[in-house]
Amino acid sequence: MQFDRRQLSNEQLLLFYQKLLWPRMIEEKMLVLLRQGKISKWFSGIGQEAIAVGATLAMQKDEWIMPLHRNLGVFTTRNMPLSKLFMQWQGAQEGYSKGRERSFHFGNKQHHICGMISHLGPQLAIADGVALAYKLRKEDKASLAFTGEGGTSEGDFHEALNVAAVWDLPVIFLIENNGYGLSTPSEDQFRCISLVDKAKGYGMEGVQIDGNNILTVYDTIKGVRDYCIRHQKPYLVECITFRMRGHEEASGTKYVPKKLFDLWEMKDPVKNYEHYLLSSGVLKEADAEQIKNELKEKIENELQAGFAVNPVVADTETELDDVYAKKSDPDNYRDGDRKSAVRIIDNSGSDSDIGLPTSDLRLIDAIKQGLYQSMEAHPDLILMGQDIAEYGGAFKITEGFLEKFGKGRVRNTPLCESAIVGAALGLGLEGFKSMMEMQFADFVTVGFNQIINNLAKIHYRWGQNADVVIRMPAGGGVGAGPFHSQSNEAWFVHTPGLKVVYPSTPVDAKGLLIAAINDPNPVMYFEHKALYRSISGPVPEEYYEIEIGKARHVREGDEISIITYGSGVHWAEDYAAEHPEISIDILDLRTLLPLDYIAIREAVQRTGRVLLLHEDTLIGGVGGEIAAWIGENCFSLLDAPVMRCASLDTPVPFSIELENNFLARSRLEEMIEKLINY
């Protein structure tokens, strides 16, 4: 192995030695503790330390790195205390994730490390978002994301590289090619000769290097970083290396030919670098032993502190409280007591008088106005979506935004839903807000993993908020067929960490969108396509919020309560208007997560007969959850069983006749009569 010190001083070479030796000695100790049952699992990076250490040394300390589970060297080179890392590995509440995450599935904003999720690929797109933030601020910075050779088979790899190339982002994609994805060898993962060849397909530069040579890794990443910043371009680096342990210790290494271990033992990154320093006179044998003894003593001291933890005590209130980031309130004011820019109005009653100057707007215009005013209020708000710039979006909601706010903030995206959700999260790491438009709610499945496993869980896992709104044009009634008509809100109501809103009126559409953008948590914002231009009403011209989590009492009644949202509100109102002989009470939930259980209980109490109405299909719909809650908590208030009126448990058909039969509205009268006559 040939080492080229370039302009590095002896002091720097020795620093590199200590940084390289530190994770190796920690790992050797961890393997002993694993056998003693003092830690539960370990993903070893032995044999690959030069990549994590060298790359981290080449980056600035305030540049984000997205490591994986074999990159202990990233954490140690960023000087994270071993004592607290050990607390993390034990699952102690004093660790970085309060006992909620395992091994290296955590991040820390102070050290600019973004924690991985088990799905591996999504980390790459987060680096896109961070790099976009650097680019928008014109900062001389780049982000760095790790992946393994197995991870390059994931769609997220393609999407992240494609977006980085199209948007000219200063991001480094680093592949650790150790030959195996768990037990699957490279020849069963890909057919290209070298993974770096993929760079050309995305219009970016790439280089393959010896990942076991710390000076090569350092010099390469340092140069690549400078290139990315100077040219505002991404770069792909493939590091050839080898994993000397199993995928994780329990899996073993029987599937690896012994001759490979013999070969790569000769390429050990720590031993070879130590030999280079000794042979070049930079390091003496006695000094090397002293450094190792000092590090060994440090490990023992740090572990002693790491073992001094309290037993895990589960507190339900704390666990629930940490699911969402807290919203600070300096920018809100109520009842005319102006503090800053946004008013919170109470629009929860059927006859509420907002008392503000209004204009009559369609639902689509109210959404547009809320988004426009939010762009004015938040210079750090970035809009992303397919065709939202020059074209103005599939439904023209962002028409004119490009001319007002510019291409930096109103961004057309490739057809890469997963990468754009990930980029939105990356923007959030750097303090930006983002709104992503799913062209149709049906397309959200392509970005499902990022939403469910990254956005929703990140605050609970390590305290990082995800300041992201995803707009979801949803619903049927427009003859658009199975892939442009779904009501899929229930998928997200089941996911702790998300907020889900679904307005039915223009005034709520504007106020809830503004509230969603002001909220530091990920919000799924559903807007019904059939209501866009068919529903209109008075909307305050002012910049205001409708509080997330508060239902609206639409209509007073004492015979039957219809609890609904979205299009169901208008179906219920139409039916009530056509049947004045029935005293119908209507509650518009508006927010589906979190639900307004107080308002639901009051609706039950007013009539004793409850019909849950929604456009979504019956099985697994939101109505089932609410019905169960009412049965458990309001049973004594009921005069009849809680009933549900929902759409058929089929895909949404294309034919208007079939779709009308599919929709819950076709069974509303039947269900109301059944409930009244019970």
Distance of CA 301 to the CA centre of its chain: 37
Q: What per-residue confidence (pLDDT) applies to 180?
A: 82
Q: How far apart, in Å, do the first and last CA atoms of the chain sit?
A: 84
Own/partner pairs, 331-337, CB within 8 angstroms, 24+ separation: 331/518, 332/518, 332/545
Mean pLDDT along residues 620-635: 97
Question: Which of 3-12, 45-54, 328-337, 517-526 is predicted least confidently?
Answer: 328-337
| Average of per-residue pLDDT across 65-86 | 95
| Mean pLDDT along residues 447-470 | 96
pLDDT tens string 176-188: 998 888 788 888 8
Residue 24 burial by CB count (10 A; 0-12/13-18/19+): exposed, middle or buried?
A: buried
Residue 337: its pLDDT value, please? Answer: 43
pLDDT at 403 > cutoff 90: yes
pLDDT at 83 over 90: yes
Packed helices 49-58 and 269-279: angle between N→C axes, nearest 10 degrees: 70
Question: Which of these, 310, 245, 294, 306, lies nearest to 38 by C-alpha position?
Answer: 306
CA dist 670 and 673 (Å) reads 5
Tell which wins on pLDDT, 36 or 507.
507
pLDDT band at 353 (very low <50, low <70, confident <90, very high): low
Cite the DSSP H helix spans in 235-362. 258-265, 269-279, 285-307, 316-321
Distances (CA, A) of 530 to 283, 359, 371, 473: 74, 21, 20, 9
- For residue 328, name the pLDDT band (cuts at 50, 70, 90): confident
DSSP annotation of 140 reads S
340 confidence band (pLDDT: 50, 70, 90) = very low
Look up residue 528 and give its DSSP letter. Answer: E
Rounded distance, CA 147 to CA 238, Å?
10
* pLDDT at residue 338, as a whole number: 41
193 or 63, higher pLDDT: 63
pLDDT-derived band at 124 (thresholds 50, 70, 90) equals very high
Catalytic residue positions, numbered: 484
Phi, psi dihedrals of residue 433, rounded to the nearest 5°: -105, 150
Does pLDDT of 598 surpass 60? yes
Continuous segment of H or E residues that includes residue 604: helix 597-607
In the chain, the amino acid numbered 13 is: L
Cα gap 450→642, rounded to integer Å: 36
State the average pLDDT over residues 336-353: 68
Q: What is the pLDDT of residue 347?
A: 86
Handedness of CA 550, 555, 556, 558 (dihedral sign): negative
SS3 213: coil
pLDDT digit string, tens, across residues 219-235: 999 999 999 999 999 99
pLDDT range class, residue 529, cuts 50, 70, 90: very high
Instruction: Kindly list the structural domains of the chain, giving each domain's residue range(s) and its CATH number in brackets, ordered by start.
Output: 10-279 (3.40.50.970), 332-546 (3.40.50.970), 552-676 (3.40.50.920)
For residue range 228-271, list pLDDT tens digits in order.
Answer: 999 999 999 999 998 878 887 777 888 888 888 788 889 999 99
Average predicted confidence (pLDDT) for the chain: 94
* pTM beyond 0.85, yes or no: yes
d(CA 36, CA 461): 27
Query: Could you tell me if 3 and 277 are in contact, meaning their C-beta atoms sit under 8 angstroms apart?
Result: no
